[in-house]
Structure 1
Amino acid sequence: MKRSIFSISLIFTTILFVSHSFSQDEIHLFQSPDKVTVFQSGAMITHNYKVKLNEGSNILQLDSLPQAIDGKSIRISMPIKTTVLSNDFKYNANNNKPIEYPKSILKLEDSLRNYENQINEINGLIVILNEEQKIIQNFKLEGGKEKAITVEDLTKFAQFYELKLTEIKKSLLKYHLQLTDLTKLKNDLIKKIAEMKEPYRKNPFYYIETIVNAEEAGIYNLELTYFANNAGWTPYYDLRANGLDKPIDIIYKANAWQKTGYDWKDVELTLSTRNPNMNNVLPILSPWYLRIYQPQVTYYEQDSPLSLREDKVSSVLTKDLRGSGDANVIGTVDNKYFSEEYKPSAKYSLKSDGLKKSITLNHEEMEATFEYYTAPELDLDAFLTAKVANWGQYRLLPGEANVYFEDSYVGKSYIDPASGTDTLQLSLGRDKGLVIKREMQKDMTETKFLSNNVQKTFAWKISIINLKKNNIKITMQERIPVSTHEDIEVKLLEKSGADFDKETGYLKWYLELEPNKNIEKTFIYKVDAPKGTI
């Protein structure tokens, strides 16, 4: 009996302990994110809370979180003397409270109702006038037996008819104009109210429920981090060349965006080139076996054993790649050059609207050599290029660049570190300070008809004038045709000192021009081909 009483007492004590541990109300916490690391696809978001905990177990509800959270990425960190027992990402189905809009919006809605009432009133007046007009137009003047219709009656009726219809038409015109104006004001107001209501829109209410055990009561710091989709950034640059004897200023920038469902206000922003979606499974290198390919032989019953067909042998040696440990990359962006993090000094705010926000990341000066390039056959402008040696030290990512030369915007270029060369070549746009002309030399261009062939000689003269105030270097490229048939012969007769590549037909001149000087180059070639082919 004593043992039974002891058991009941123990169970009762345990129930009291559990009831004491979990009987307290849930502690609701809300905190906007204060740190965000944006990857080129996705973002790691951090919230920091201060929470008052009781001794023992505490149920916390971290409210108003975006739907885009990856539940597996949720991490809750707390100091010593606390233990996070569990956490669960949930949707609050009871979030049905009506939105309370500010007085400024309510006042505009009153104005909107006033416009609608005026529009309804005018539409009613228009209906009445149309009916009145219809009655007048359908009215017929008739005489009786006792009194016939006189000319005076007809005159009075005609005057009344004209006066009344004119009055109705003027009123209709006035009301239609008022209706047009009021409808425009109404539509503009509807648009304005919708824009003002946007920040108050009702988002789905998601939250994290977590159970934390505290060794003693007190105020503790809690850090929540999670990964969310629907965010990212892309790099771009401003390139400013202020002169041919000065380094290039390159300003690293980013277009960052997010559509996680909640605005980020004054957050410490980090932009990272890492790919958090990459598969981190350790690759296993399997043996690579070589074997002799055995062709399959097929016999057909209707034929003799001598009539057989072998599958076409495509290769004697084949690879057995079964069990290969190659890892797959998951995600929309894969930076294969380096891992870098950019931390702007200022705090930033990004609305959850998917619109790009420009952020300045860094500024560098790049030593460069400047040269001009022209291909007069295709374009009579000279293009300024900058060549940057050892560009790897600047850790550039692929991206568009806005190009400025001597304080003028000249267009867009593209930085492509994947080109694989030691020197990065940047296009700085057209320079009208070099005047280029390409003219056919008619006195040296001729056609000769032989017995079976036709010989055509082509002569071109290119001139370049340097209108700039400094010496320039320019590479000029032209071409002649390359024969791919034994009956067609192409012969270069004059190249004016150009480097000639017979395989491609390219001619290149490496020229230097002083200010206000011009240079001329001529190239002549002959094509010998059968009649009717050229």
Structure 2
Amino acid sequence: MAIAVIPGFGAAAGLPSSIGAVTVYQDRAVVTRAASSELAAGEHELVLDKLPATLQENSLQVSAKSTGQATLLDVKVRDAYQADTPNDRLRQLEEQMRKLEARQAALDDEAAVLDNQRELVLMMQRGATEPSKDGARLTLDELKAIQALSADSLAGALAGLRKVAEQKAALEREVLALQMQLGQVRGELGRRTKTVTLRVNMARPGKLDLAVSYAVAGARWTPSYDARLRPADRNVYLGYFGVIRQNTGEDWNNVKLTLSTARPSQGGGAPQLRPWFIDVAAPPAPPPALAAPAPAPIAAAAEMQAKRAPRARAMEDAGAPVPEPVAEAIDVSTAQIQNAATSASFQIQNPATLLSDNTSQRVAIATARLPATLQYQSTPGLREAAYLTAQASNNTDFPFLAGPLNTFLDDAFVASSAMKAVMPGEKLELALGADDAISIKRQLVNRYTESTGFSGSGKRVTYEYKITVKNNKATKEQLSFKERLPISRNEKIVVKLISPADRDIKREEDGKLVWDWELEPGKSRETVLKFSVDYPGDIDVAGL
């Protein structure tokens, strides 16, 4: 509860507040706290204390509603240092650590007592077997009795020591695990916090409702996807998730969560171009002359002092102090920035709780059913396998950001890959892994070299490959596979495609050839790739 400040009296008490909403960006979060209080007429100081040390002061915003015609006079932010830990969860962990340390001390004490008992038994045994010079020697029965008594005591002490050692080992594992958890929660915050003080004036008594928002570092979210293909209905069921981590120094309990694709760190405008100057290159600097041998340290110091002395004496005569060396500004290497083309906010429907321990938490953003066109793709020259791909359109209003993708075929996990950024209405392609039901074989049938020309001065190398594909599925499927032709970088080297004909393939850049086939169920198809390379016999060709 806020207390009215009367001149000459004490300062205001802390005003209780709670986090109601959080917007998480890819490099920070904006937290909104709410607080309310019944205030009398006059001027008041309202203090929000134990705020996170990562609070960015220039991001602080305050809004208020009041039934007493309130006026916000000013807002101050300052650092504060707590005698105790400001984070409740961190305080609980530290209390657990103190209890574990107390248990360790108790086990150390128990081990010391048992070890003392063991030493006492050993002393008794030595005293019984080594009597003094004037003492009578113990009888055999007495020795047996002492041995039986000491054996029971010694066995109990040793068993107790073993049990204590086991308990200490288990306790050390607990301490190590708790220390790691403490390190994650503490981060670099320590016990430093921020305090926000608001000065308001109430024209008349009434209720004041405050909303204070601020940006904090140590929070981020990344997109993640689960794509499940149902071949029976040719649909891709896409799950869109946000993976959130936060280590801001305060827990978010039962808050309204929003994920934003905006990037505040990249600014709001395009970077400015600087002039691009060109000029005649300066001639290289002449090589340095051979340096004279360095004088001895004492001689060098004397020589430097001799050079400085006349100037110093002149300045002393003029009454001016000897100037200090002037520091020059260094060049700063600036980073290149890029502006995001789109921005969207995803409001999570259910309240969320995220602890400040940097653990990941996944929340659902959207689900979508995307009608898909299925196609197999292959590069048999690199791997004799056909990979299933699903081509679909983003028919939602959500921009799909780039992120990791887990792919399932029905209920079987088949691949981990990555999704590129896809805006609403754009095409997307999902890689669904290799399918053994489409077999593809590539075989080198022939490779031979022959002489060409009237005099046999030329050379020709001919390659011939046979590619066979079989559809072992019960459905008709589409297959697109690629091969490549050698690319000549010299006009004397001529590459000629012999088979197949150009009407049966598509040519792409860099010598790529593409076959688009429709495969009937249970049927096979084959093709022959044949090409020749002609070149003069007096040159050596690399790459063949």
Into which bin does the TM-score normalised by the smaller protein fall? 0.7 to 0.9
Residue in structure 1 matched with residue 260 of structure 2 by the alignment: 272
Q: Do the aligned partners of 2:5 and 2:43 also contact (CA within 8 Å) in 1?
A: no
In structure 2, distance between residues paired with 1:172 and 1:454: 94
Alignment of 1:147-296 (within 5 A): 178=163, 180-191=165-176, 194=179, 203-243=191-231, 245-280=233-268
Partner SS, residue 357 of structure 2: coil
Partner SS, residue 40 of structure 1: coil
Alignment of 1:52-201 (within 5 A): 52-80=38-66, 81-93=69-81, 95-96=83-84, 105=96, 110-121=102-113, 178=163, 180-191=165-176, 194=179
Give yes or no for the alignment of 1:484 onto 2:489: yes
Residue in structure 2 matched with residue 145 of structure 1 by the alignment: none
Alignment of 1:303-314 (within 5 A): none
Per-residue deviation, 1:266: 0.8
Give yes or no for the alignment of 1:470 onto 2:475: yes
Q: Do the aligned partners of 2:242 and 2:364 also contact (CA within 8 Å) in 1?
A: yes
Residue in structure 1 matched with residue 382 of structure 2 by the alignment: 378
Q: Do the aligned partners of 2:22 and 2:257 also contact (CA within 8 Å) in 1?
A: yes
Q: Do the aligned partners of 1:78 and 1:222 also contact (CA within 8 Å) in 2?
A: yes
Residue in structure 1 matched with residue 35 of structure 2 by the alignment: 49
Per-residue deviation, 1:176: 8.0
Give yes or no for the alignment of 1:456 onto 2:445: no
Of 221-230 and 446-455, more deviation after overlay is shown by: 446-455
Of 254-263 and 412-421, more deviation after overlay is shown by: 412-421
Residue in structure 1 matched with residue 511 of structure 2 by the alignment: 505
Per-residue deviation, 1:40: 1.4
Partner SS, residue 410 of structure 1: strand
In structure 1, distance between residues paired with 2:398 and 2:94: 53
In structure 2, distance between residues paired with 1:172 and 1:76: 68
- Aligned residue identity for 1:232: R
Per-residue deviation, 1:120: 3.7
In structure 2, distance between residues paired with 1:274 and 1:84: 30
Residue in structure 2 matched with residue 26 of structure 1 by the alignment: 12
- Aligned residue identity for 2:239: I
Q: Deviations over 1:372-428 (max 9, x none)?
A: 111101121211222234779652222222112222211123222379996333322
In structure 1, distance between residues paired with 2:540 and 2:93: 87
- Aligned residue identity for 1:475: S
- Aligned residue identity for 2:511: G
Give yes or no for the alignment of 1:359 onto 2:345: no
- Aligned residue identity for 2:105: R
Query: TM-score by structure 1 length?
Result: 0.72
In structure 1, distance between residues paired with 2:350 and 2:425: 36
Q: Deviations over 1:160-201 (max 9, x none)?
A: xxxxxx99x999997885565243123134246657978997
Aligned pair count?
465
Residue in structure 1 matched with residue 447 of structure 2 by the alignment: 445
Per-residue deviation, 1:131: 10
Q: Do the aligned partners of 2:79 and 2:194 also contact (CA within 8 Å) in 1?
A: yes
Q: Do the aligned partners of 2:12 and 2:46 also contact (CA within 8 Å) in 1?
A: yes
Q: Do the aligned partners of 2:394 and 2:425 also contact (CA within 8 Å) in 1?
A: no
In structure 2, distance between residues paired with 1:19 and 1:478: 83
Residue in structure 2 matched with residue 39 of structure 1 by the alignment: 25
CA pair 213-297 structure 1, distance change in 2 beyond 3 A = same
Q: Do the aligned partners of 1:239 and 1:251 also contact (CA within 8 Å) in 2?
A: yes
- Aligned residue identity for 1:32: S
Give yes or no for the alignment of 1:339 onto 2:343: yes
Of 430-439 and 65-74, more deviation after overlay is shown by: 430-439
Query: TM-score by structure 2 length?
Result: 0.71
CA pair 270-422 structure 1, distance change in 2 beyond 3 A = closer
CA pair 253-124 structure 1, distance change in 2 beyond 3 A = same
- Aligned residue identity for 2:107: Y
- Aligned residue identity for 1:51: S
CA pair 268-424 structure 1, distance change in 2 beyond 3 A = same
Partner SS, residue 58 of structure 2: helix
Alignment gaps of 5+ in structure 1: 1-17, 140-165, 299-327
Give yes or no for the alignment of 1:521 onto 2:527: yes
- Aligned residue identity for 1:228: V
Q: Do the aligned partners of 2:39 and 2:207 also contact (CA within 8 Å) in 1?
A: yes
Q: Do the aligned partners of 1:116 and 1:186 also contact (CA within 8 Å) in 2?
A: no
Identity percentage of aligned residues: 25
CA pair 72-378 structure 1, distance change in 2 beyond 3 A = same
Alignment of 1:315-326 (within 5 A): none
Partner SS, residue 231 of structure 2: coil
CA pair 284-527 structure 1, distance change in 2 beyond 3 A = closer
- Aligned residue identity for 2:356: S
Q: Deviations over 1:457-515 (max 9, x none)?
A: 32211111212221111101111222223443333222267425386322211101121
Residue in structure 2 matched with residue 416 of structure 1 by the alignment: 420
In structure 2, distance between residues paired with 1:449 and 1:363: 64
In structure 1, distance between residues paired with 2:202 and 2:532: 93
Q: Do the aligned partners of 1:493 and 1:524 also contact (CA within 8 Å) in 2?
A: yes
Q: Do the aligned partners of 1:75 and 1:226 also contact (CA within 8 Å) in 2?
A: yes
Q: Do the aligned partners of 1:129 and 1:172 also contact (CA within 8 Å) in 2?
A: no
In structure 2, distance between residues paired with 1:30 and 1:504: 68
Q: Do the aligned partners of 1:119 and 1:183 also contact (CA within 8 Å) in 2?
A: no
Q: Do the aligned partners of 2:472 and 2:521 also contact (CA within 8 Å) in 1?
A: yes
Q: Do the aligned partners of 2:29 and 2:217 also contact (CA within 8 Å) in 1?
A: yes
Residue in structure 1 matched with residue 373 of structure 2 by the alignment: 369
- Aligned residue identity for 2:448: E
Q: Do the aligned partners of 2:234 and 2:374 also contact (CA within 8 Å) in 1?
A: no
Q: Do the aligned partners of 1:496 and 1:523 also contact (CA within 8 Å) in 2?
A: no
